[in-house]
Structure 1
């Protein structure tokens, strides 16, 4: 995986922490870049990243340009993404990990609002592409979603959140 493979919105289904760390490292080596890692599962690959970029004075700029934020529901994710987009003078990469958890937590209260917030987050991201200055990478923690062999009831969701996001909002799925 390299930065050129990333589109405006990318769903990454088969990733490893070492590969994510390498992508982050490559991105942050460029001047004028900031990484926003939005996480619901406390999973920033710190050990793998420190193997690539040792934490010392020479690499201070790289570590200063990483912003890790916790989001446990769709409202928090929307507010974070909105603030990031309002400030795009630097090239930004948004990594979202745990979208399924954020969506599920929001769905407990109001599933229609969870869907509305999901739509607002990704429409805002897609609408603010601004000449490639903002890219979004969604890490699919569950891998590719297998198609069930049994017939589903109408009340069951036919798509997982990652499959739904990939179908309606993503430019590419890796």
Structure 2
């Protein structure tokens, strides 16, 4: 006896399409979350590079450079364009997209009373004597780079680097 072949019903087609739709939606969610995470990581890496460059430049030129050791804080902005260039000023062209990083250099100078938070001098102490120098010749240099990160609850993100140097 020969059986008649049965076709695919509309209900089976709809069920298959629903399963496929769920799979595609899940894949799109993974791709969008990965893209967002990669963008945040790239932004944080750029902030880390800005902080490293600022700290290295300050350590090279000392207190005579862009930042004065007698002034506890100095803040300036750095802009990264969509092409990846860093600039000191915001782009004038409104079609150029740029992320604004705020750089703060905080210098705790043991020779200036009140410039160290709460009188703390760290371990080993900033006020210790250096070989061939007088007591209290170290400064603590902290570079903070912050930026606004849209789409996350905290909003403002920050990278901080710190070092000590003899001015």
Rg: which structure is higher? 2
Q: Which has the higher contact order (CA 8 A, sep 6+)?
A: 1
Query: Do the structures match in fold with TM over 0.5?
Result: no
Give the structure with the larger strand fraction.
2
TM class by shorter chain equals under 0.3
Give the structure with the larger helix fraction.
1
